[in-house]
């Protein structure tokens, strides 16, 4: 139980990849703060599953794109669980369309949740981590932030932004024993990808060398590695979890 006594915050942990990360980190011994914005019932189910497995978890509602809500959430987490040593910035959304049809609101929404959300949560987290002289931040980006994808200029820009942000922050805090890395999933089966047409899904599957779609657990395994002592000498990296899709 390598994370015994540590507190981990996973943003967007009510569903999909965030849920898998919360379960995984709790299984490794961390007390987990489950953040969500609208799916209260699903967040409570994640909490109950962790507690049923003998772990510790609480739910915290906050829109990561709002700095005041994030600050408020951190205060409550500290009071109820203790200082956050592990932050998994996972909350994210898509709003896909070709640039020529993209509305300003679609651009703003995706950038505010995906990129400003990472800024907000990291900024608040880093304050305490600097005092503690230890911490891990894992940011969930996407292979799309590396390769680009037609119909996702907003999403790809937000995910590429996360990579630049993470490398810069990694350089700022490495000598304070705080490590910052990214995980870049490929095509993972969650609500986010559920809406894709069968044709798009078939095309994607044919481009994955290992011959299957990814599961949220495939991503959570790497997130757990990046929180463990086994990754003590890794920072500023982007680890792709995509079954070989983008090699």
Ligand X SMILES: NC(=O)c1ccc[n+]([C@@H]2O[C@H](COP(=O)([O-])OP(=O)(O)OC[C@H]3O[C@@H](n4cnc5c(N)ncnc54)[C@H](OP(=O)(O)O)[C@@H]3O)[C@@H](O)[C@H]2O)c1
Do 208 and 245 touch, CB atoms closer than 8 A? Answer: yes
Q: Looking at 22-30, 46-54, 90-98, 172-180, which segment touches ligand X (CB under 6 A)? A: 90-98
DSSP 8-class letter at 108: H
Q: Is residue 186 classed as helix, strand or coil in its secondary structure? A: coil
Q: Which of the residues 9 through 48 are near ligand X (CB under 6 A)?
A: 11-12, 14-18, 35-39, 42
Determine, following the binding rule CB under 6 A, whether residue 191 of this chain makes contact with ligand X.
yes
CB atoms within 10 A of CB 84: 25
Determine, following the binding rule CB under 6 A, whether residue 220 of this chain makes contact with ligand X.
no
Determine, following the binding rule CB under 6 A, whether residue 190 of this chain makes contact with ligand X.
yes
Determine, following the binding rule CB under 6 A, whether residue 120 of this chain makes contact with ligand X.
no
Q: Please report the sign of the dihedral spanned by the C-alpha atoms of residue 62, residue 66, residue 68, residue 74.
A: positive
Determine, following the binding rule CB under 6 A, whether residue 55 of this chain makes contact with ligand X.
no
Which CB, 154 or 235, lies closer to ligand X?
154
- Distance, in Å, from the CA atom of 158 to the CA atom of 174, rounded to the nearest integer, reads 24
Determine, following the binding rule CB under 6 A, whether residue 135 of this chain makes contact with ligand X.
no
Give catalytic status of residue 74 as yes or no: no
Q: How would you list the strands of the sheet with 178-185, edge to edge?
A: 56-61, 31-36, 7-10, 86-89, 135-140, 178-185, 238-241
Active site residues: 155
Binding site for ligand X (CB under 6 A): 11-12, 14-18, 35-39, 42, 63-65, 90-93, 113, 140, 142, 185, 187-188, 190-193
């Amino acid at each position: 139980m390598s994370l015994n006594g540590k507190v981990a915050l996973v943003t967007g942990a009510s569903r999909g990849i965030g849920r898998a990360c919360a379960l995984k980190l709790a299984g490794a011994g961390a007390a987990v703060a489950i953040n969500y914005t609208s799916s209260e019932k699903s967040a409570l189910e994640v909490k109950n599953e962790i507690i049923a497995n003998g772990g510790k978890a609480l739910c915290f509602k906050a829109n990561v794109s709002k700095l005041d809500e994030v600050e408020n959430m951190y205060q409550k987490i500290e009071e109820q669980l203790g200082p956050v040593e592990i932050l998994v910035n996972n909350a994210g959304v898509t709003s896909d369309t070709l640039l020529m049809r993209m509305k300003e609101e679609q651009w703003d929404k995706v950038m505010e949740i995906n990129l400003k959300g990472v800024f907000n949560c990291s900024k608040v987290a880093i304050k305490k981590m600097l005092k503690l002289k230890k911490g891990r931040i894992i940011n969930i980006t996407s292979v799309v932030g590396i390769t680009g994808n037609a119909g996702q200029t907003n999403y790809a820009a937000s995910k590429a932004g996360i990579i630049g942000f993470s490398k810069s922050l990694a350089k700022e805090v490495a000598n304070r024993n705080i490590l910052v890395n990214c995980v870049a999933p490929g095509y993972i089966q969650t609500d986010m990808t559920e809406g894709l047409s069968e044709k798009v899904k078939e095309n994607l599957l044919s481009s994955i060398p290992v011959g299957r779609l990814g599961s949220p657990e495939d991503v959570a395994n790497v997130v757990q590695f990046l929180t463990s002592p086994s990754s003590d000498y890794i920072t500023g990296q982007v680890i792709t979890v995509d079954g070989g899709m983008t090699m």
